[in-house]
Amino acid sequence: MVNRFPVRDTNPALAGNVRSSGGITQGEGGHYSMIHLKIRKLLVSVLAVTVAFGLIAGCSTKPAPKDNGTTKPADTTAAASKEAPALAALVKDGKLPKVEDRLPKDPMVLKAEKIGQYGGTWHTVTKGKSDGALFERFIGYEPWVRWDQTWTGKVEPNVMTKFEASADAKTFTFTIREGLKWSDGKPVTTKDVETYLKLISNKELSPGGPGFYNYLGKVGKLTLVDDRNFKIVFEDPNGLFLQSRAYPDTDWLQGILPTHYVGKYVLPEGKDFVDAEIKRLGLKDYPALIKQILDWRDNPDLPTLYQFVVKTPLSSGKTALFDRNPYYWKVDTAGNQLPYIDHFSAEIHEDVNTMTLKALNGELDWQDRHINTNTNKPVFVDGQQKGNYKLFETTPTAMNQFTFQLNLTHKDPVLRKVFQDKKFRMALSHAINRKAAIDTIFVGQGEPAQAAPLKGTPWYDEQFTKQFTEYDAAKANALLDEMGLKKDAKGMRLRPDGKALTFTLEVANNQVPTGSDYGEMLRKNFAAIGVDMQVKVQERSLFYDRKKANEHDAMLWGGDGGVEVLFEQRYYIPTSEESAWGVPWYQWWSSKGKQGEEPNLPEIKKQFELFDQVRQTSDAQKQQDLMKQVLKIAKDNFWPIGLCTVNKQYGIVRNDFHNTPKDMWSAWLWPHPAPMNTATWYTTRK
């Protein structure tokens, strides 16, 4: 059975952060620093945290790296004045409470290079509803706890001002920020945490279990202590839980929902109302209704905790417009309510060339997504003066530009057998002319590589990275011959049942043109060894729907997990619905056999067994040793196929757009640029 509504944070592989004193109690704090750490330095810190339950046994770790000099006192020539002029006018007219009544008792203080000034609009471009991650990355990252800015693996207070984990890693206690309010002014309480659990416990919405409460097939128990304090108790040690609460997940508003708005949609209590709404809105079912009402980019009525609230929905088709949240709960070091910027505007375009022209013309304030192709970089470098912008850099944690994933759980038993044969994957890999792809698509940037951890990390294995990357059509043909895949009169391969061997590679539209260009190159490379593959560009939401329903033949996606191996394992072991090569196996594992499909490959079962041990152990070295065993099985079986390594990336920022970093990590689990405190960015554009 397939999850009909996305629950992206069901991936349990996010590291914990606790101490031996019976637990870690984390207080308020903040960092503002540029990323100058090498991958190895990052991993040493990350590993120290991801295995932090080893501290319970009396171990210790070095403190997290300090700021790189940007925590100096802020510029005292402050332009801001406690609240935005537009909000001050509403206060004066009696239409809005005073700022001190809107802010929590302990607002979160964000450091920045300078105190900003209020006003203006952050102009961006998006591909529309299929491009939800842009909004999450730019303005929608407000989880319970958040990653620190240098991504050492440390989590810091956010919605929760305090968090504590018991020494046995079973009990987690959280405290909601005192006086915190939703964007409509209603108070945030523990009832809102409970409402999320009630909603996601509905099997129609989440047949695999209630999101992050579902652990090892058992549901954690939520206890509300009072309006601000609650605890979650698991039956088994959950050594990777706390970091999971820093994971991006705006599909469910990071696990806390406004009861006064969402409560009426919870079943079974709200059945009559829900049935009436489904009929009124012309929706097909309950999951469709919940997906619609929780879409914060498209539903102006939904209260949120984000810095901006939508006014012109994304579904308008032209420009999604967001206004500042008058109850946003963060301030700068001078006590000015954030954000500085009045509006966030995302103009909708499917065509990347149109986006690029807007950036070159200086119409965009800060953007990397979609426009930062290798072929565009020389053009952006040359256009800086005319466009009144400069370039910044990002350091990817991805291990590969693209991963090619055959569906090893294909519904067609014949294709499944072919795809599960390692020789077939080896043959396709040897058929890929990686040098030509690197030279033509990535302007010579990158080295041939498989989907394997990056060099400089404790996980690096040179053989894993380089295996089967040699371009050798003769070797590829020999492997297919060994499989007994005969050719027809035109030289094209036949399946074992005598039918034409043909399948389709799906590419999401947000990967166009780079992904589709690479797909076409693969099509030609494979045709040269008699394998017929067609390339189809899919709208991203349909791409995800087909993947979750296991309706695809093969898919192309970026290669996450080069550094943060304990956080992101999708290409080494199918631990999320992002593992397009084995989604039903993930569903089986995450639901403890209640959903999905039991793996027919013993190697997959062994990986699951080992990874369950990784999640439960509190020993640092054991966690690393176990994960290396998982990676060895991945290497030996060669699940997805990689293309090449990823070099530094870039973006553009207008010269009158301020407090932005010169460089930072580029990752999904650390959803850049959000952890760099985008609420402190400001514009002086005239």
89 residue type, one letter? A
Which residues on adjacent β-strands are paired with residue 413?
Answer: none
Residue 31 has pLDDT above 60, yes or no: no
Residue 72 has pLDDT above 80, yes or no: no
CA dihedral 641→647→648→653, nearest 10 degrees, is -80
Most confident range, picked from 40-54, 99-113, 247-261, 605-619:
99-113
Cα separations in angstroms, 139 against 329, 341, 530, 648:
14, 11, 47, 23
pLDDT in tens, 375-425: 899 999 999 999 999 999 999 999 999 999 999 999 999 999 999 999 999
pLDDT in tens, 319-367: 999 999 999 999 999 999 999 999 999 999 999 999 999 999 999 999 9
Nearest to 193 by CA among 173, 209, 179: 173
pLDDT in tens, 435-461: 999 999 998 999 999 999 999 889 999
Nearest to 588 by CA among 207, 199, 198: 207
Which residues on adjacent β-strands are paired with residue 319?
Answer: 347
**Would you tell me how many other CB atoms lie within 10 Å of the CB of residue 304?**
26
Query: Which stretch of 56-60, 199-203, 297-301, 465-469 has the lowest confidence by average pLDDT?
Result: 56-60
Sign of the CA dihedral running 85, 88, 94, 95? positive
Q: First and final CA of the chain: distance in angstroms?
A: 55
Q: Are strands 532-538 and 502-508 parallel, antiparallel or unpaired?
A: parallel
547 residue type, one letter? K
Side-chain-facing half-sphere of 56: CA atoms under 13 Å = 23
Q: What angle do CA 456, 611, 629 make, to 5 degrees?
A: 50
Q: What is the C-alpha separation between 161 and 550, in angstroms, rounded?
A: 41
pLDDT tier, 80 (very low <50, low <70, confident <90, very high otherwise): low
pLDDT tier, 34 (very low <50, low <70, confident <90, very high otherwise): very low
Residue 65 has pLDDT above 80, yes or no: no
Residue 519 has pLDDT above 50, yes or no: yes
Q: What average pLDDT does the segment 474-498 reach?
A: 98
Q: Which domains does the chain have, with CATH numbers?
A: 8-320 (3.90.76.10), 400-642 (3.10.105.10)
Query: Which stretch of 198-212, 300-314, 355-369, 574-588 has the lowest confidence by average pLDDT?
Result: 198-212
DSSP state of 20: S
**What is the residue-averaged pLDDT of the chain?**
88
Residue 619 is predicted with a pLDDT of: 65
- With contact defined as beta carbons under 8 Å apart, do 183 and 326 qualify? yes
Nearest to 115 by CA among 326, 329, 338: 338
Residue 167 is predicted with a pLDDT of: 85
Residue 620 is predicted with a pLDDT of: 63
Q: What average pLDDT does the segment 137-149 reach?
A: 95
Which residue in this structure is represented by tokens 């192309």? 556
Residue 35 is predicted with a pLDDT of: 35
681/168: higher pLDDT = 681
Residue 561 is predicted with a pLDDT of: 93
pLDDT tier, 1 (very low <50, low <70, confident <90, very high otherwise): very low
Q: Are strands 649-654 and 366-367 parallel, antiparallel or unpaired?
A: antiparallel
Q: What average pLDDT does the segment 605-619 reach?
A: 88
Which residues on adjacent β-strands are paired with residue 406?
Answer: 554
**Helix, strand, coil share (%) of the chain residues, nearest 5:** 35, 20, 50
549 residue type, one letter? A
pLDDT tier, 317 (very low <50, low <70, confident <90, very high otherwise): confident
Cα separations in angstroms, 75 against 211, 329, 659:
43, 22, 12
pLDDT in tens, 92-114: 999 999 999 999 999 999 999 99
Q: What is the C-alpha separation between 520 and 534, in angstroms, rounded?
A: 8
Residue 38 has pLDDT above 90, yes or no: no
Q: What is the C-alpha separation between 35 and 282, in angstroms, rounded?
A: 48
36/408: higher pLDDT = 408
- Per DSSP, the three-state class of 167 is coil
Q: Are strands 400-406 and 554-559 parallel, antiparallel or unpaired?
A: antiparallel
Most confident range, picked from 7-11, 114-118, 313-317:
114-118
Q: What is the C-alpha separation between 210 and 10, in angstroms, rounded?
A: 8
Cα separations in angstroms, 667 against 81, 140, 467, 564, 664:
35, 15, 25, 9, 10
Q: What average pLDDT does the segment 193-211 reach?
A: 93
